[in-house]
Amino acid sequence: MDRINQKLTVLANAAKYDVSCSSSGSKRKNQDKGLGNAEGMGICHSYTEDGRCVSLLKILLTNHCIFDCAYCISRRSNDIQRAAFTVQEVVDLTINFYRRNYIEGLFLSSGIFKNADYTMERLVRIAKDLREIHHFHGYIHLKAIPGASAELLTEAGKYADRLSVNIELPSEESLKRIAPEKNYEEIYTPMNFIREEKQRYTDERKSIKSTPLFVPAGQSTQLIIGASPENDVQILNLADSLYKEQQLKRVYYSAYIPIPTDSRMPNLALPPTLRENRIYQADWLLRFYKFSVHDIVNDLHPNLDYDIDPKLSYALRNRHVFPVNINTAEYEMILRVPGIGVKSAQMIVTSRRFGNVHFDHLKKMGIVTKRAQYFITCPGAPAASIDRHSSQVRQLIQSPELRKKNSQLILFA
Amino acid sequence: MITYVYDGSFEGYLTTVFEIYNRKKNPDGIFTTSTYMPFLMEEKYEVSTNIERAQRVLAGIESKGSKDIAAKIYNVYLSEHPAMEMLLFQYIKLILQKGSAIEHDYRQPEILKVKEINKQIHREVHRMHAFVRFQKTTDNLYYATVTPDFNVLPLIGEHFEKRYSDQHFMIYDSKRNYGLYYDQQQTMMVECGAEQLERQSEFVAEEKVYEALWKNYFQSVNIIERKNVKLHLRHMPKRYWKHLTEKK
Ligand code: SF4
Find out whether the beta carbon of A75 lies less than 6 Å from any atom of ligand 1. yes
DSSP state for residue A356 in the 8-state scheme: P
Is A305 part of any domain? no
CB A218 within 8 A of CB A195: no
The whole domain housing A314 covers: 310-407
Probe ligand 1: pick from A11, A17, A61, A65, max atoms within 8 Å of CB?
A65
Residue that terminates a domain, selected from A271, A296, A318: A271
C-alpha A18/C-alpha A16 separation (Å) is: 5
CB B134 within 8 A of CB B154: no
B138 interfaces chain A, CB cutoff of 8 Å? no
Distance A224 CA to ligand 1 centre (A): 14
Q: How distant is the Cα of A300 from the closest Cα of chain B, in angstroms?
A: 32
C-alpha B140/C-alpha B231 separation (Å) is: 37
**Interchain CB distance below 8 Å, A5 and B216:** yes
What are residue B111's DSSP bridge partners? none
Residue A400's alpha-carbon distances to A272, A314, A339, A395, B62, in angstroms, are 19, 20, 18, 9, 51
Which residues in chain B land under pLDDT 70? none
Q: In chain B, count H helices and then E strands.
A: 9, 8
Q: Both A204 and A350 in a single domain? A: no
Find the radius of gyration of the CA atoms of chain B. 22
C-alpha B35/C-alpha B7 separation (Å) is: 10
Query: Could you give the 3-state DSSP secondary structure of residue A231?
Result: coil
Terminal CA-CA length for chain A: 49
The strand ranges marked E within chain B are 2-6, 29-32, 43-46, 135-136, 142-146, 169-173, 178-182, 187-190
Residue located nearest, by CA, to atom 6 of ligand 1: A69
Probe ligand 1: pick from A60, A73, A74, max atoms within 8 Å of CB?
A74
Q: In chain A, count H helices and then E strands.
A: 16, 10
C-alpha A282/C-alpha A303 separation (Å) is: 11
Is A289 part of any domain? no
Task: Report the residue of A99, A277, A350 to disrupt the B interface, i.e. the one with the largest count of B CBs within 10 Å.
Answer: A99
Q: What burial letters (b/e) apply to B157-191, b meaning 16+ CB within 10 Å?
A: bebbbebbbebbbbbbbeeeebbbbbeeeebeeee
* Cα angle B135-B140-B143, degrees, rounded to a multiple of 5: 30
Model pLDDT, residue A269? 72
What's the pTM value of the predicted model, to 2 decimals?
0.91
Q: Is the dihedral of CA A369, A372, A375, A376 positive or negative?
A: negative
Of B165, B217, B234, the CB nearest to A33: B165
The strand ranges marked E within A346-385 are 376-377
Closest alpha carbon to A234 in A175, A173, A183, A298: A298
Probe ligand 1: pick from A64, A109, A112, max atoms within 8 Å of CB?
A112
Q: Both A118 and A65 in a single domain? A: yes
Model pLDDT, residue A408? 44
Of A8, A37, A365, the CB nearest to B216: A8
Is A154 part of any domain? yes
C-alpha A159/C-alpha A279 separation (Å) is: 32
A 10 A CB-CB count for A12 gives: 20
Residue B163 φ/ψ, nearest 5 degrees: -80, -45
Task: Report the residue of A27, A46, A96, A97 to disrupt the B interface, i.e. the one with the largest count of B CBs within 10 Å.
Answer: A46
Q: Which amino acid makes up residue B202? A: E
Is A296 part of any domain? no
Distance B225 CA to ligand 1 centre (A): 21
Which residues in chain A land under pLDDT 50? 406-413
Is A286 part of any domain? no
pLDDT digits (tens, 9 = 90+) for B113-151: 999 999 999 999 999 999 999 999 999 999 999 999 999
Find the radius of gyration of the CA atoms of chain A. 24
Q: Both A234 and A329 in a single domain? A: no
* Cα angle B119-B123-B125, degrees, rounded to a multiple of 5: 115
CB proximity under 8 Å: B 140-159 to A: 142, 144
C-alpha A16/C-alpha A11 separation (Å) is: 9
Q: Locate the ligand 1 atom nearest the alpha carbon of residue A65 and give its number.
A: 4
Q: Both A325 and A259 in a single domain? A: no
CB A168 within 8 A of CB A73: no
The strand ranges marked E within A175-272 are 219-225, 250-255
Q: Both A124 and A55 in a single domain? A: yes
Q: Both A208 and A161 in a single domain? A: yes
Of B107, B224, B228, the CB nearest to A51: B228
B145 φψ region: left (φ > 0), alpha (ψ -120 to 50), beta (else): beta
C-alpha A159/C-alpha B71 separation (Å) is: 36
DSSP state for residue A164 in the 8-state scheme: E
Q: How distant is the Cα of B41 from the closest Cα of chain A, in angstroms?
A: 36
Q: Both A234 and A352 in a single domain? A: no
Residue located nearest, by CA, to atom 2 of ligand 1: A111
Model pLDDT, residue A403? 52
Task: Report the residue of B213, B233, B244 to disrupt the A interface, i.e. the one with the largest count of A CBs within 10 Å.
Answer: B213
C-alpha A11/C-alpha A7 separation (Å) is: 6
Find out whether the beta carbon of A15 lies less than 6 Å from any atom of ligand 1. no
C-alpha A164/C-alpha B55 separation (Å) is: 51
Q: Are strands B178-182 and B169-173 parallel, antiparallel or unpaired?
A: antiparallel
Model pLDDT, residue A407? 43
Q: What burial letters (b/e) apply to A174-207, b meaning 16+ CB within 10 Å?
A: bbeebbeebeeeebebbbebbbebbeebeeeeee
Query: Could you give the 3-state DSSP secondary structure of residue A292?
Result: coil
Model pLDDT, residue B100? 93
* Cα angle B170-B171-B174, degrees, rounded to a multiple of 5: 125
What are residue B44's DSSP bridge partners? B3
C-alpha B74/C-alpha B94 separation (Å) is: 16
Helix, strand, coil percentages (3-state) for chain B, rounded to 5, are 55, 15, 30
Closest alpha carbon to A342 in A311, A388, A318, A316: A311
CA–chain centroid gap for A261, Å, is 27
Q: Both A261 and A335 in a single domain? A: no
Q: What burial letters (b/e) apply to B205-244, b meaning 16+ CB within 10 Å?
A: eebeebbbbbebbbebbbbeebebeebbeebbeeebeebb
**Interchain CB distance below 8 Å, B223 and A36:** no
Four-CA torsion B66, B68, B70, B76, nearest 10 degrees: -150
CB A105 within 8 A of CB A43: no
* Cα angle B132-A10-B218, degrees, rounded to a multiple of 5: 20
Contacts of A394 by beta carbon, 8 Å cutoff, 6+ apart: A307, A308, A312, A316
Of A96, A271, A355, the CB nearest to B225: A271
Q: Both A96 and A192 in a single domain? A: yes
pLDDT digits (tens, 9 = 90+) for A72-119: 889 999 999 999 999 999 999 999 999 999 999 999 999 999 999 999
Query: Could you give the 3-state DSSP secondary structure of residue B220?
Result: helix
Contacts of A387 by beta carbon, 8 Å cutoff, 6+ apart: none
CB A88 within 8 A of CB A125: no
Q: Both A260 and A361 in a single domain? A: no
Q: How distant is the Cα of A257 from the closest Cα of chain B, in angstroms?
A: 7
Tally the domains of chain A.
2
Q: Both A147 and A262 in a single domain? A: yes
Is A362 part of any domain? yes
Residue that terminates a domain, selected from A271, A289, A318: A271
Q: Both A32 and A117 in a single domain? A: yes
CA–chain centroid gap for B242, Å, is 19
Is A288 part of any domain? no
Model pLDDT, residue A260? 59
Find out whether the beta carbon of A63 lies less than 6 Å from any atom of ligand 1. no
CATH number, position A261: 3.20.20.70
Residue that terminates a domain, selected from A215, A241, A271: A271
C-alpha A36/C-alpha A333 separation (Å) is: 42
Is A290 part of any domain? no
C-alpha A27/C-alpha A216 separation (Å) is: 6
